[in-house]
Structure formats: C-alpha cells, structure tokens
Structure 1
Amino acid sequence: MLKGKKLGVIGVGKLGEALIAGLLKQSDLDVTDIIGSVHHEASIDRVKERLGISTTLDNRELTKDRDIILIAVKPQNMDKVVREIADQLKPNQLLISVAASVTTAFVEERLTQPIPVVRAMPNTPSVMNAGMTGLCLGTHAKSEHKEIAEAIFDCVGKTVFVDENLMDGVTALSASGPAYLYVVIESLAEAGVKLGLSREVSTLLASQTMYGASRMVLESKAHPALLKDMVTTPAGCTIDGLMELEEGKLRVTLIKAVVKAAERARELVNNQNSSK
C-alpha cells in the first residue's frame, strides 16, 4: 500500500520520530522516500543521525512532490502550520493530522482546495511499536486514503477507525489510557513493597503481569470477565482481592476517569473551534 509513496513529516519530535522509525522498519518505504521538517536547525543533525532521512526547516518546501503529508505538531501550532502550507497542497495529496483535539473540519476550513484529510490519535506506546491509534476520515477522504493511513499507523501498533464524533472517547480511553495503567502498575508495585519485595522486583511483577493479561485478552478474544473468573478459584485469595477492589469502587472510578477525560477532550475541541 505504501510502496512508491513519498512521505513528508512536519514535526519530527518524539512521535514523528517513532512513526518514521516504524515505517522504515515495517513498511516498503526507505530513507529516500521520507522527508522531515524540524523547528530548529540543531535538530537536523539529530534526525539525520537517528533516522537517516533528509530534513528541512521549510514546511512549504517539504510539501512539494509528496503523496502524503503527516503533521505531528502540537495542537496550538496546527492553525499556523496548516495555513502556511495550504496553498501548496493538491487534491491528489493526503494530509494526516496527529494533533490532539484538532478536528478534520478545523483543518479543512484552512485549506484552499478539497484535500483528503485523516485525523489520527495515537498513544505514547507507539514509540515502542506497541501503540493504539484511533483514526477518522475527513470530508474528502476515500477508502484508498483510509488504507494508506491504516498502513502507516499499523507500523507502530494497532489501528481502529471510528466516526469523528467518537474521537473524544478514543482520546480519553487509549490516548490517556497509558497514564491510568501506569497508576495501576505503580499501585501494584507499592503493594509488593509493602509485602517485603524489592521495588525492582515488584515493578517487574506488576508490569509483566499487566502485559501478559493484555495479551490474553487480545489473543484469546475472550471477555475480560471470563479470563478473570479463570483466575478466581473458590475460597481462594484472588476473590478476596477482588472484593477489596469492588469495595474500593475501582471499576466505577476507572469508568468515571475515562468519561471525565472525554469531557475535557470535547471541551478542548470546542475551544479550538471557537478560535477559528
């Protein structure tokens, strides 16, 4: 799907670098197919050393002869960047945005032609090629653009397409989700320390257990409740631990945390739209 394509990445920070590294490793693209842009001249050598791709300070120059332009800048910089390159873009190019809370409509309204736009919301484990990316299509994006975007983000993890009105939920669940799970890992590790285990051993036990449990859900495709019941033997220690979690309202607290984060994501979208 990506063979023969030319990609330009505006903003080769941590996420941009992770995406490029994943593409170079997992796709048909090589270093001659990708150009990146950076904000500071000092970053040019860093990108060249780590990725081997050509780099520029000129976003407009980057868009020339590119099949795909991926914008990986902070949300507050999206307005400036899109307006800067708008008159350079052609309808046969695909524009992908990974800026949180920036809608496809926000991008499209700043363009001068009917450019296909895809909005992506990856999460930080993408830097480990274990990411989860939510994607949605803009007004002019077609099935071919969907396949291209999917191929790009599949290189750093898994992808799912949703309607754009559900992207706030994606942001709250999978983009913010690692932070919630780090708290769970940290808490489990603290319990290990309380029980006399070293912090190093406790953290390994907690993190590997979460990793293994996640793989069980993904690969078995069984409902998490069924997998939980497989661990919970009658009159065993696990049921006592689960009772404590239920009494502490862990389940409803996690649900409320995701809902609250989604409300904030929606608020940020509204703030972004009101600044048009």
Structure 2
Amino acid sequence: MTSSQNYSTLAVLGAGTMGGILVRGLVKAGRPASTIGVTSHTAATREKIAEETGVQAFDDNATAAAWAEVLVLAVKPVKALGVLDEISAALRPGTVVISLCAGLSCALLESHLPAGTPVVRVMPNTPASVGAGMAGVSPGSHAGPEQEGLAVSLMSTVGKAVVLPENLQDAVTAISGSGPAYVFYFVEALVEAGVTQGLSRPLATELAVQTVLGSARLLDETGTHPALAREAVTSPGGTTGAALRAMDEHALRAAIQDAVEACVRRSAELTEAAVRG
C-alpha cells in the first residue's frame, strides 16, 4: 500500500463536514500540517480549520490545485463539475484527484479533467470524525495500484477502507455513507420510547447509545452473524421476542429495504443533476 506521505502536498477542496474531518484526521495521524491545504467558499470555514490545525488556507480552488500533488474533492456533488472545470488548467502533471462526492462516477469526473488524470472515487461517512469511519474506494480508468493505495491510506487515518468495483458505490452510499443517519434515527426513537416508559432522557440516552455501541462491537470483534446474535438474546416466549414481533408487525425490515433502495435511486439522481449543472 502506498502511504499518503509519499505525496508531499495535499489540498482538500471544500473543507466542510467530510473535508474537515479528513484534514483533522490526517493532522492527528502525524502528517505535517504544512503539507495540507484547504479551500472553502466560506472564508470563515477555511480560516477556522487553518487556525485549529495549522494547515494552509487558500482563497481559491485553482491556486490550491496548482500547489498540490493530491486533490481531495469534497464539495457538494452539484458543484463538483464546476470546480473541476475551474481547476483543470491549473493541475500539475500526475496530480491525483480523490473524490468524496456521492453519486459522481470516475468517468464523469475524468471528463472534466486533463486526459489521463488519475481519479479515485471514495464514499466515506461521518463516524470518521471519531476515527471510526467506513469508506468504499474505487479507482477510475487511469488510477493504478499506487493511487488506489493512496486513497486507502488516506481514509485509513480516520477509520477503515475497502476497495470495491465502482458499480457498487451507490450501494455503499446507501449502507455506510448514509447508514449513520439510520442508526441515529433508531437511537433517537429508542430514547423517546424509553422516556415514554418513565426513564429520564439522559438515562435513556446512555442506555440506548451504549447498547448500540456494544452490539456493534460484539459483531465486529466476534464475527458472529447478526441473525445468530439476535437469536442469542431472544428467549422463547420472552420479552425480546415480543418486541421483535411488534417490529415485524410494523414491517421494519421492509422499511429498511425501501430506505436503502430510495438512497440508491437518489445517488443516481445526483449524477444526473451534476451533469445538468
């Protein structure tokens, strides 16, 4: 695997939520702040992260692109192609472009860059802010093992990363990219249910959060299939079974399936919106 340290300069175009998370993760992992640059359409955002981390703040994307050997595209998907058009002429030969933009294919991004520019598509998620992210990595037609390894190395500073075919990226978006919101939604509902049953909100929150955290850790560390782990908690005729039957009556599994399918469709729509500009 190629280390991100082999590339002397890296600029994050769009240091908002995910861009900012990656910058902070890289600095925390030991990458020299002087080798990282950031841009943002809001001056206060780029200046704040520069002050917090010691990285360089650039006033415009083209200047950052001319400076960096690696560009992380972290702007909103609908703005991404416009940013690429803006920086294309400024890119130095061999610049690697790593896209964090949901729904935008490598081929589409490549069409707005100089011929032969290596592009790697990445779908991260927000738990990266606490070093527990999950990212799917897909190299474009001009990206080889070196650029693929670079992207994996970068995302591994804030969690885990897996390499997969690009045609699975919409599914990755629906499961891990948007997935934290589903978990937060479930925890929110569980807390409200606890309050309804007489628990204080702080206690209900602590119980729900630790239960989700511990359950995920159990699956991760033991490798137990989720169905088997569920069965281990479910005694015949017991309280857990009653709760699960209620969930089945409300078609929870079908709702989750529908949610994932809706997310996949929306990811495809983002590509269409970006093309239309």
Per the alignment, do residues 269 and 45 of structure 1 end up closer, same or farther by CA in structure 2, a change over 3 Å counting? closer
Alpha-carbon shift at residue 34 of structure 1 (Å): 0.8
Give the corresponding residue for 1:41. Answer: 43
Alpha-carbon shift at residue 77 of structure 1 (Å): 1.3
CA distance in 2, matches of 1:272, 1:43: 24
CA distance in 1, matches of 2:34, 2:165: 34
- TM-score of the superposed pair, with normalisation by structure 1: 0.93
Give the corresponding residue for 2:27. Answer: 24
Letter in 1 for 2:238: G
8 Å contact 1:90–1:115 — kept in the other structure? no
Is structure 2 residue 12 aligned with structure 1 residue 9?
Answer: yes
Give the corresponding residue for 1:71. Answer: 73
Alpha-carbon shift at residue 129 of structure 1 (Å): 2.0
CA distance in 1, matches of 2:66, 2:188: 47
Aligned match for 2:265, one of 263, 266, 269: 263
8 Å contact 2:38–2:46 — kept in the other structure? no
After TM superposition, the structure 1 stretch with the greater mean CA deviation from structure 2, 144-153 or 11-20, is 11-20
Alpha-carbon shift at residue 131 of structure 1 (Å): 1.6
Alpha-carbon shift at residue 4 of structure 1 (Å): 4.0
8 Å contact 2:118–2:147 — kept in the other structure? yes
Counting only pairs closer than 5 Å after superposition, residues 34-183 of structure 1 correspond to structure 2 as: 34-183=36-185
8 Å contact 1:130–1:157 — kept in the other structure? yes
8 Å contact 1:131–1:156 — kept in the other structure? yes
Letter in 2 for 1:94: V
SS at match of 1:158: strand
SS at match of 1:234: coil
* Per-residue deviation, residues 67-95 of structure 1 (Å, max 9, x unmatched): 21111111121122101111222442210
Alpha-carbon shift at residue 40 of structure 1 (Å): 3.5
Alpha-carbon shift at residue 236 of structure 1 (Å): 2.3
After TM superposition, the structure 1 stretch with the greater mean CA deviation from structure 2, 42-51 or 168-177, is 42-51
Letter in 1 for 2:26: L
8 Å contact 1:4–1:29 — kept in the other structure? no
CA distance in 1, matches of 2:141, 2:222: 37
8 Å contact 1:31–1:52 — kept in the other structure? yes
Letter in 2 for 1:189: V
For structure 2, the residue ranges without an aligned partner over 5 or more in a row are none
Letter in 2 for 1:159: A
Give the corresponding residue for 1:206. Answer: 208
Q: Which has the higher contact order (CA 8 A, sep 6+)?
A: 2
Deviating above 6 A after TM superposition, structure 1's stretches of 4 or more consecutive aligned residues are: none
After TM superposition, the structure 1 stretch with the greater mean CA deviation from structure 2, 185-194 or 37-46, is 37-46
Letter in 2 for 1:253: A
CA distance in 1, matches of 2:43, 2:239: 58
Percent of aligned pairs sharing the same letter: 37
CA distance in 2, matches of 1:91, 1:137: 18
8 Å contact 1:90–1:113 — kept in the other structure? no
CA distance in 2, matches of 1:15, 1:142: 24
8 Å contact 1:48–1:55 — kept in the other structure? yes
SS at match of 1:3: helix
Letter in 2 for 1:35: G
* Per-residue deviation, residues 207-263 of structure 1 (Å, max 9, x unmatched): 111111111111111110111111112332111211212222111211111112111
Is structure 2 residue 186 aligned with structure 1 residue 184?
Answer: yes
Letter in 2 for 1:13: G
- TM-score of the superposed pair, with normalisation by structure 2: 0.93
Alpha-carbon shift at residue 48 of structure 1 (Å): 2.3
CA distance in 2, matches of 1:146, 1:44: 27
